Amino acid sequence: MELTPSFHLMDIPHFFKIRFMAEIQSQTGNNWKKGAVRRSKKLSTKVDLTPMVDLGFLLITFFIITTTWSESKAMRFIMPKGDKADMPVPESTALTLIPISNNRIFYYHGNFAEAMPASAYSVSGYAIDSGIGAVIRKKQLQLSHSCPFSSKDLMLVIKPSPEASYKNLVDVMDEVLINGISHYAVVDLSAAEETFVRKNAGQ
């Protein structure tokens, strides 16, 4: 340090004393009163997660290997025994579905010989809200309110026409599964039914 003329040698000890005390106050290390408790220094905790990454991959590999993969579910395809198409079921519980061309489906209630004169038939499609699924659910609701039957007594008879596609039959079987129908069968379309459908459904 360069001493100016106004600086006296007698002021040197006082100068260094001030500088020294300022340094002590900034650190506040020795400025403790008697009996005071010194705070413990908090150390940050550092955790190494590298081994956990390896363990995580090992667990994922283990669960992938030991997990049972989902198996494809097959639906039972019920066919009548022998060549006899007539089945002893109550006519009020029977609903016959005849998939036809242009993604349409002809259906009638009960016996064919009685349903045609009574106009108990119609044509529907495969729409979710207004298609054949709605017809099946309406039939189930009617059976649930008719004693001594219930919705589980519905007998669904499926008779694909030659103009129907394989997808049409699959869509009908999907409705069987969706609506929980336990009684159903796939039978051949009779000549009388085929003639009537061609005439009245515009096949």
C-alpha span between 164 and 174 (Å, rounded): 16
Kindly state whether residue 80 falls inside one of the protein's structural domains.
no
Query: Quick one: pLDDT band at residue 203, thresholds 50, 70, 90?
Result: low
Contact (Cβ atoms closer than 8 angstroms) between residue 140 and residue 154: yes
**CA 93 to the chain's CA centroid:** 33
Kindly state whether residue 83 falls inside one of the protein's structural domains.
no
What total of structural domains would you count in the chain?
1
Q: Tens digit of pLDDT for each residue in 68-81? A: 776 666 666 656 56
Q: Range of 143's domain? A: 91-200
Q: Tens digit of pLDDT for each residue in 43-55? A: 667 777 788 888 8
Q: What is the CATH number of the domain that holds 159?
A: 3.30.420.40
Instruction: Provide the whole-model pTM.
Output: 0.58
Kindly state whether residue 156 falls inside one of the protein's structural domains.
yes
**CA 167 to the chain's CA centroid:** 23
C-alpha span between 203 and 192 (Å, rounded): 14
Mean pLDDT, all residues of the chain? 77
Q: Tens digit of pLDDT for each residue in 152-172? A: 889 999 999 999 998 999 999
Kindly state whether residue 85 falls inside one of the protein's structural domains.
no
Residue 89, C-beta contacts closer than 8 angstroms, at least 6 positions apart: 155, 183
Kindly state whether residue 143 falls inside one of the protein's structural domains.
yes
Kindly state whether residue 8 falls inside one of the protein's structural domains.
no
Kindly state whether residue 120 falls inside one of the protein's structural domains.
yes
Kindly state whether residue 10 falls inside one of the protein's structural domains.
no
Contact (Cβ atoms closer than 8 angstroms) between residue 110 and residue 92: yes
